């Protein structure tokens, strides 16, 4: 029998340098078990052959790549055990709640279409209720159970400098606007979504916008996976290869809005640059294209703010900015 021996592999300990907020201890344990089995076979082969196994002759950088891939795959397997935590800080409740939504505070909201859904502090949707009973007010108009208003009319406007723009009616858009407002969307979210799809519908474009890895798009605003996995806590444990995790935003409006707000907060002044052009935009935030996109975004937000009725009806504002 061979007496050939190798020092114990140190690459297993690389796993302990992963922050606990990125991968769970369960994932770490599974990865260690997996790599330990590989190492055991490698040493058994070394003893049998009397020489080092090729499995032991792996560079540190290559081993880190292998570990990254294993962590991604094991995290996908363990993801089903975790629940998405919706950020309650975004839901203002200083005047109470009704049916799970904030109650509109007197003197702080508008309800231009009298459908018992208000827009408070120029930042979030709220329920209009009678007194302290918590019951929705009787009467009022509206567009059915969704609260959206069909139709509408385009207000007068002036396009932003150097950018073509316009306005038209898109059937069903009002219902989608209200659905996102009920999920906690603000005007920035509505504007972002309106710039991306006609109906503000996450399911109206091809899965991922025909992109993959960090370029994969999800949600009504077409956020990219590279940014989402840095700003949303439940996504931070994943690598670029797990991009389809973000597809759940397409059917979960609250999560869609939550991740959008988290990313804007996380990236701050660079958010729009990364939203427009991914990692390249984050590294080069002041290109003419990004500045033009910013002007288009600012104009759309301004139109929604200056004409509150367009926050709930079928009016769609558009700006002529090419896709990337």
Point out which residues pair with 125 in neighbouring strands.
Answer: 119
Mean pLDDT score, 110-117: 65
Percent helix, strand and coil across the chain, each to the nearest 5: 50, 10, 40
Name the band, by pLDDT with cuts 50, 70 and 90, for residue 296: very high
CB 35 within 8 A of CB 11: yes
CB 165 within 8 A of CB 295: no
pLDDT at 107: 73
Reading the block at residue 90, the tokens are: 């975004």
pLDDT at 72: 61
What is the sign of the dihedral through the CA atoms of 273, 275, 277 and 283? Answer: positive
Q: pLDDT, tens digit, for every residue of 73-88?
A: 655 555 544 444 444 4
pLDDT at 269: 92
Residue that is written with structure tokens 């002041």 in the block: 286
Q: pLDDT, tens digit, for every residue of 150-164?
A: 788 999 999 988 899
The answer to whether the predicted template modeling score (pTM) of the entire model surpasses 0.85 is no
Note the Cα 101 to chain centre separation in Å. Answer: 21
Q: Which of 284, 287, 294, 285 is nearest to 319 (CA)?
A: 294
Element (H, E) at 281: helix 271-283
Element (H, E) at 124: strand 124-127
Name the band, by pLDDT with cuts 50, 70 and 90, for residue 216: very high
Say if residue 254's pLDDT is above 80.
yes
Domain map (residue ranges) of the chain: 11-81, 143-319
């Amino acid at each position: 029998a061979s007496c050939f021996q190798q020092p114990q592999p140190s690459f297993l300990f690389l796993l302990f340098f992963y922050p606990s907020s990125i991968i769970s201890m369960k994932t770490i344990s599974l990865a260690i078990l997996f790599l330990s089995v590989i190492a055991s076979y490698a040493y058994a082969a070394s003893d049998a052959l009397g020489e080092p196994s090729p499995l032991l002759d792996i560079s540190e950088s290559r081993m880190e790549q292998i570990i990254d891939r294993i962590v991604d795959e094991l995290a996908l397997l363990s993801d089903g055990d975790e629940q998405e935590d919706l950020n309650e800080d975004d839901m203002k409740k200083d005047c109470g709640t009704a049916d799970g939504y904030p109650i509109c505070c007197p003197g702080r909201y508008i309800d231009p279409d009298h459908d018992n859904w208000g827009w408070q502090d120029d930042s979030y949707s709220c329920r209009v209720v009678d007194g302290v009973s918590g019951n929705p007010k009787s009467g009022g108009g509206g567009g059915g159970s969704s609260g959206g208003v069909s139709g509408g009319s385009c207000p007068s406007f002036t396009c932003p400098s150097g950018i073509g723009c316009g306005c038209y009616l898109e059937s069903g858009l009002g219902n989608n606007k209200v659905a996102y407002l009920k999920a906690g969307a603000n005007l920035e979210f509505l504007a972002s979504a309106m710039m991306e799809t006609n109906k503000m519908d996450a399911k109206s474009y091809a899965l991922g916008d025909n992109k993959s890895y960090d370029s994969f798009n999800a949600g009504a605003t077409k956020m990219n996976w590279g940014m989402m996995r840095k700003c949303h806590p439940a996504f931070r444990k994943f690598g670029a290869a797990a991009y389809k995790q973000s597809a759940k935003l397409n059917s979960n409006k609250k999560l869609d809005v939550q991740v959008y707000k988290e990313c804007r907060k996380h990236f701050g002044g660079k958010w729009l640059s990364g939203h427009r052009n991914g990692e390249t935009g984050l590294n080069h935030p002041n290109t003419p294209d990004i500045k033009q996109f910013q002007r288009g975004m600012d104009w759309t937000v301004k139109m929604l703010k200056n004409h509150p009725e367009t926050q709930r009806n079928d009016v769609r504002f558009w700006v002529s900015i090419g896709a990337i």
